Structure 1
Amino acid sequence: MIIGGVAASVLGRPRLTQDVDALAVLPEADWADAIRLASQYQILPRVEDALQFAKRSRVLLMRHTTSGIDVDVTFGELPFERAAVANCENHEVGGVRVRLPRVE
């Protein structure tokens, strides 16, 4: 689910943001696979030993190499994070379907 400035711009008032923030509920055992999958879309780790950094901080620091845009993925574990992801909604943004938080 996309969060942060991009989500705020789509769901509320547009604002300047220089990165993409996401919240993912994914077992730690699958994080390495997520990094490999992201690389197929030119999204690569932007810190050395990104997996170990994520295990310490629950944040995966990535960069879309084609555009240079940073992508920060927070791995949610708390009940409210899990609920937010479970209840998010699909939105069409620039011809791309993205999952955003439900506005309540």
Structure 2
Amino acid sequence: MPERELGRRATNEFGIDGTVCGRSSVAGPDTLQPLASAILDLEEWLSGVRVPHLFIGGVAVAFLARPRTTNDVDGIVLVPDDGFADFLRSATKHGFPSRHSDAATFARSNRIFLLRHASSGVDVDLSAGSLGFEQEIVQKARRVVAFGRSLPIPRAADLVILKAIAARPQDYADIAAVLEQNPRLDKKRVLRLVSLFAELLEAPELVTGIESLFRGKGIRSRFPAPASGYSRK
């Protein structure tokens, strides 16, 4: 999928503008309480160093659909390719050391930072956004209030797209819940972007899956259900 030009870059620590827009106020769900310190410290760090970011996974689902149990914190960060090492050093400095012995190489190869909140032991997985779609959803994030702090999360349609691409059992359950709470989201845009990713990934079942959910039908994931708990994203 062609990447979009997202405009000028600010002169922040990592060379990317940190602005997000759209705001709504919601209290922090009780299911997120065990993650509160990790969420708050993560937001303080990323906002402080002006790294564009947003929370996805169970944190976003808790606000856009329904609270559910989740054991970790997932997000997307916009970090330039030549800034990975600096980002990891900043993470360690702010109490989020890497869970991988060769963190920079792993992050460059897999485009994900596997971190751990030192004070709580909560795992934090931050995808390094690079596609135009990932940059766009960070730029257009909405904001909610949890534990007294404003947090960026995706718009409902964007979260559905992310989960339709992941296509795991919990992702489909989350999509159904988001659709129930947000029946007027832009389904045409969702289908268009999922179709583009399905073509790139040579996975036509992604389109079949989201179409079935739009029709209110249950579907079978292309991945086996986890033995226990919930999926990461």
TM over 0.5: yes
Q: Distance in 1 between matches of 2:92 and 2:133?
A: 29
Counterpart residue number, 2:17: none
Q: Following superposition of structure 1 onto structure 2, how do residues 36-47 of structure 1 map, counting pairs within 5 Å? A: 36-47=89-100
Unaligned runs of 5+ in 2: 1-53, 157-184, 186-233
Query: Which segment is superposed worse, 12-21 or 94-103?
Result: 94-103
- Residue 21 of structure 1 aligns to which amino acid in structure 2? D
Q: Comparing both chains, which one has the higher relative contact order based on Cα–Cα distances under 8 Å and sequence gaps of 6 or more?
A: 1
RMSD, matched Cα: 1.2
Code of the aligned partner of 2:120: S
Structure 1 unaligned segments of length 5 or more: list them. Answer: none
For the 8 Å contact 2:55–2:153, the answer to whether it is kept is: yes
Equivalent-residue separation in structure 1 for 2:139 and 2:91 (angstroms): 21
Residue in 1 that maps onto 2:80 = 27
Match of 2:130 among 77, 82, 85: 77
SS at match of 2:97: strand
Q: 1:42-89, CA deviations, whole angstroms, 9 ceiling, x for partnerless residues?
A: 111011011100111001100001011000010111121111111002
* 2:111 aligned with 1:61: no
How many pairs are equivalent? 104
Q: Cα–Cα, structure 1 residues 41 and 96, in superposed 2: closer, same or farther, change >3 Å? A: farther
Moved beyond 4 Å, runs of 4+:
none
Indicate the residue corresponding to 2:41 in structure 1: none
Aligned partners of 1:19, 1:96: CA distance in 2, in Å?
19
Cα distance in 2 between the residues matched to 1:78 and 1:91:
24
Shift of 1:32: 1.5
**Which of the two has greater helix per residue?**
2
Aligned counterpart for 2:68 among listed residues 9, 12, 15: 15
Larger Rg: 2
Output the amino acid matched with 2:126: V
